[in-house]
Amino acid sequence: MSTQDRIERTFKQHIRVNDGGYFAPFVTGIPEAARAIAALFPPPCAWVRYDDYHRSACGHVFEFAVGGPRDNDFVICPYCGGEIEEQDANQR
């Protein structure tokens, strides 16, 4: 799911009125607002796992003592700010 889709879903979950419907002026503006907010986020950053290190799409190398990014609670690349997408060099 893209960043924009997640933002739209969040807006729709939080902008509800008592009868369970949406407040119309907000609903019509949700896709535009979500696009604008999504544009503020950097693109995802692929981290490719090699034998004992990871290489990021933004050009950095990182080594974990144990496991990989998710195992060590890395969700956002500390170098470029993009959401980390793990890949295995053997599957490329």
User: pLDDT digits over 2-18, tens only?
Assistant: 777 887 777 776 665 44
**Both 50 and 86 in a single domain?**
yes
Closest CA to 79 of 45, 49, 54: 45
The pTM of this model reads: 0.60
Question: 35 near 8, Cβ under 8 Å?
Answer: no
- Are 59 and 24 found together in one domain? no
pLDDT band per the 50, 70, 90 thresholds, residue 76: very high
For 75, half-sphere exposure in the C-beta direction (CA atoms, 13 angstrom radius) is 1
Domain of residue 11 covers: 3-38
Question: pLDDT of 31-74, one tens digit each?
Answer: 777 777 777 888 999 999 998 899 999 999 999 999 899 999 99
CB atoms within 10 A of CB 84: 21
24-53: b (≥16 Cβ within 10 Å) or e: eeeeeebeeebeebeeeeeeebbbbbeeee
Residues 27, 52, single domain; the answer is: no
- Tell whether 33 and 67 lie within a shared domain: no
Number of domains in the chain: 2
